[in-house]
Structure 1
């Protein structure tokens, strides 16, 4: 009996000694960032994090400081929410973009990890070349034509949820220009099915990138529908010849790279490109229009500028050229300012070897998460950061395609977003033509942003309706500020931007 007791004491003593040694070794080892881990194995803080990621990150930031780790769903995510660590994130050879996104790409588009790692750099260079600033002129005419065609379908007047209106414009325009004219316009039911399935796929993309597909039945169904659409359409996309341009579409250029090495994954790459070209462009266009229409002075100045530069009746099929864009800089400023205020919650890299940030060592295997959302609220770079102030962009050298310091909306480093110039051009033309053709006003207050996601530009929370009607006199002033009002810079401070170029 006493022998058993002695054995039990010895076991307990050994366990206590092990715990003490572990604590001592950890104290002597590299100091890791503070961690919100939760208490459920593997899940960790995943349940709390998943309910409202941006709110959870904000709480962790208040509790732990600008650098902290969240353990969720088997992943260690180390967040850098202020400027500390930016150089490490963008320049260190010990962090890797491709390894960070290979699993999400496989889950959301069924591109095998080995295929993705083999083709990613080549595809990135292809898109960067096709969508560089020097090639934007190739898209100008087609974007004008497509937007005029879609705007005709809106009719002379109407009331609509603004995010739905933007989708009705951008979905077909983007597909017709980057993929193939008429890809989704075979009949009304197919168009409705496309809108429905892509919206479900887009809204569930972040969950699909992290969770098993069998847990997301509706999202999985829409993913398979879109893949089947592209499987059926790939031969037509390859054979398609644009009416006016000798050059191939972007999707044709992508297929040229994929064909041979991964031909049977062509539909997966088409789905990936579809999401990349629409997922952020739609909410950015929405937020820009909402901010413009909710700030009366800015709205009035923009309409007056459009009238001065474009002239004529609002229903004419005018062409927005590069020269005219230069005379309407305020609209570009508004887009960039809307992106600043509604930036993605995180962009990510995989730590392949331990890196030091401030007094912390981030271990290999962690996902290093940089947050444009909080970087864009740093008053050092953006005074009065919560206010919509498009005139701040007058200080940026946009003629040389240089943004303001601290602006990280399009990522950075080697794999900066290759489609950023096309997206900015598309959104500018869209907004100019809407405000040229229609007298618009908001019927609901400025909506809050949704806090459900951290990947990509946040969607609005709740509805925001717009009333639009054909403008009989393009020189008439808008009907006044939107219902949300809000202090705005005087128009006299904004007008010079319309005269530049």
Structure 2
């Protein structure tokens, strides 16, 4: 009897639906997702075990537009309404945000069994780096890969890198049309969004991958890395591949060409039994056997080289672009940097790695730039088992994502007074970590265990960037070479530096981003 009633009601409803016009049916179909979206959010609000959800009207898209355009402004608005802990819908994914140092601790020091960077990022990174490396492998494998790569990040290595980096920078200046170029100009206008990505890729290649690989690099190879960079956009985060967008084809073509270039040198060294201790390529060819006895394949070594070089390129390209722009706005700081360099060098002409460690203002310019412009404004993890939020009744369910934003804390007045001011001297009387802080070894060497600081430009926990010291080495050499070679200012008519562009995964200056430069008369003193 009940079944017949249900069938009768369904038949009646279907007949009424058939009476509707096409426009009415279309309107109904469009309305259903919105109605479902509203009802589901109202039901969500009734749950006491869920963090507050930022209200959104457009199904699936959620808060993608305000978050994607101005993430820090979006976070500040949500914080004002909900506090430090809230969630928002991002292109079909619920992201639980925990702002501030407690959030850093909650996300970055969560157990690997509870949150996964691999599951959060692999669909984004695997097409760029390749199979079997970075996030396309287990966490244990990744930790061991980081340990393999650290063989090229020793103090002795850094000492040899500084003169190579400086030589690359001066060579680039002498051939680039943005600087002296073939015309041997003594002044001009440089586009930092052209110069800095190229300088950083060339200097990273020369120092980390060695002379033989550097000989195979040119501006076209730098363009390939630029095409790979385009694989790190929000659309790639949601859709790993779309056949109708050229950026995907450019990404895949660049990955194949770069990988084959690395493989050609690896094969050449294997064939000639020419494996020494010259560079990271040699290091990985000699020392890349996992603890369980499995060796990395040569293709995986090539893929890891892509990841290592891109990691250095991202941070240094963004950071050096920003400090050139900030110093263009503050020429007096350039002069302070020059005087610091002269004081350290005395009668010597070239800065060494040991000199860089004794140049506090140079290091503080880098430190302040990273504070204001952390390359990644958001760090994600996918929740793999229900994750209670300490001190609350909230539980982040399996399948959701957690998000932390050290960049938000680093640009927040609560932690850094006058946060919008570029002021390297704010660090003058701030003591560096004295080494007493507890450390932990995740498999790639001891790192600080605590991540509750508001200042975390290189992340923290098991996924803390291993290239921090190399970044300071590379950036310090870039900055000191620029200061000694030229002085620069904003282009005539410009009164402020560009705003950040958050529409990429890496925070870069909006275009145009140019400076007017002129050679120093005493650059050879």
Q: Is the 8 A contact 2:323 2:369 kept in 1?
A: yes
Distance 2:62 2:44 in 1: 24
SS of the equivalent of 1:213 reads: coil
Once the two structures are superposed, residues 448-480 of structure 1 have per-residue CA deviations (whole angstroms, 9 ceiling, x without a partner) of 333433733x1111223223333222599xxxx
**What is the aligned partner in structure 2 of residue 397 from structure 1?**
431
1:150 aligns with 2:172: yes
Counterparts of 1:23 and 1:284, CA distance in 2: 43
Question: Residue 300 and residue 141 in structure 1: after superposition, are their counterparts in 2 closer, same or farther (change >3 A)?
Answer: closer
- Residues 1:20 and 1:150: Cα distance change in structure 2 (over 3 Å): closer
Which one of the candidate residues 236, 257, 261 is aligned to 2:265? Answer: 236
**Partner residue of 2:194?**
164
Within the alignment, does 1:459 sit opposite 2:508 as a pair?
yes
In the TM superposition, residue 48 of structure 1 has moved relative to its aligned partner by 5.5
| Contact 2:204–2:312 (Cα < 8 Å) also in 1 | yes
Q: Note the C-alpha offset of 1:29.
A: 5.5
Q: Does residue 362 in structure 1 map to residue 396 in structure 2? A: yes
Return the match for 2:466 from 418, 421, 441.
Answer: 418
The reply on whether 1:200 has 2:222 as its aligned counterpart is no
- Residue 423 (structure 1) shift: 0.7
- SS of corresponding position for 1:183: helix
Greater Cα shift, 207-216 or 416-425 = 207-216
Size of the alignment, in residue pairs?
Answer: 456
1:31-110 correspondence runs (5 A):
31-40=50-59, 42-46=60-64, 49-50=67-68, 52-93=70-111, 94-110=114-130
Question: 1:488: which partner in 2?
Answer: none
Residues 130, 147 of structure 1: alpha-carbon distance in 2 compared, 3 angstrom cutoff: same
Stretch deviating more after TM superposition (339-348 or 270-279): 270-279
3-state secondary structure, aligned to 2:426:
helix
SS in 2 for 1:469: strand
- From the superposition, tell whether residues 89 and 449 of structure 1 become closer, same or farther in structure 2 (CA, over 3 Å): same
Q: Is contact 1:102-1:116 (8 Å) kept? A: no
Contact 1:439–1:468 (CA under 8 A) maintained in structure 2: yes
Q: Does 1:175 align with 2:205?
A: yes
Deviation at 1:68, TM superposition (A): 1.7
Distance 1:262 1:475, change over 3 A: closer
Match of 1:334?
A: 365
Per the normalisation by structure 2, the TM-score is 0.75
Displacement after TM superposition at 1:134 (Å): 6.7
Question: Which residue in the other structure is 1:249 paired with?
Answer: 279
Is the contact between residue 96 and residue 401 of structure 2 (CA under 8 Å) also seen in structure 1? yes
Using the alignment, how far apart are the partners of 1:147 and 1:295 within structure 2? 22
Distance in 1 of aligned mates of 2:41 and 2:81: 26
1:348 aligned residue (380, 401, 405): 380
- 1:222-245 alpha-carbon deviations (Å, 9 max, x no partner): 43224223213323156569xxx9
Residue 385 (str. 1) matches residue 429 (str. 2)? no
CA distance in 2, matches of 1:474, 1:71: 54
Q: Identify the residue that residue 15 of structure 1 maps to in structure 2.
A: none
In structure 2, what is the Cα distance between the partners aligned to 1:151 and 1:28? Answer: 60
Deviations 1:293-330 (A, max 9, x none): 31233222112222333357xxx9x4311342244210
How far did 1:427 drift? 0.5
Give the equivalent residue in structure 2 for 1:301.
Answer: 336
Which residue in the other structure is 1:432 paired with?
Answer: 480
Q: Deviations over 1:421-460 (max 9, x none)?
A: 101110101110111112323314432333433733x111
CA distance in 2, matches of 1:361, 1:423: 37
Structure 1 alignment gaps of length 5 or more: 13-18, 477-501
* Partners of 1:109 and 1:272 within 8 A in 2: yes
Change (3 A) 1:349 1:128: farther
2:500 and 2:508 in contact (8 A); partners too: yes
Query: Does 2:514 correspond to 1:469?
Result: no
CA RMSD of aligned residues (A): 3.8
Aligned-pair distance for 1:336?
Answer: 0.4
1:21-53 CA deviation, whole Å, 9 max, x = no partner?
99889846523332445442x444445644555
Could you tell me how far apart the structure 2 residues matched to 1:24 and 1:347 are? 28
- The answer on whether the counterparts of 1:53 and 1:451 sit within 8 Å (CA) in structure 2 is no
- Provide closer, same or farther for how the CA distance between residues 393 and 48 of structure 1 changes in structure 2, counting only shifts above 3 A: closer
Decide whether the 8 Å contact of 2:117 with 2:381 is kept in 1: yes
1:71 and 1:222, CA in 2 relative to 1: closer, same or farther beyond 3 A? Answer: same
| Contact kept? 1:294, 1:446, Cα under 8 Å | yes
Higher mean Cα deviation, 75-84 or 421-430?
Answer: 75-84
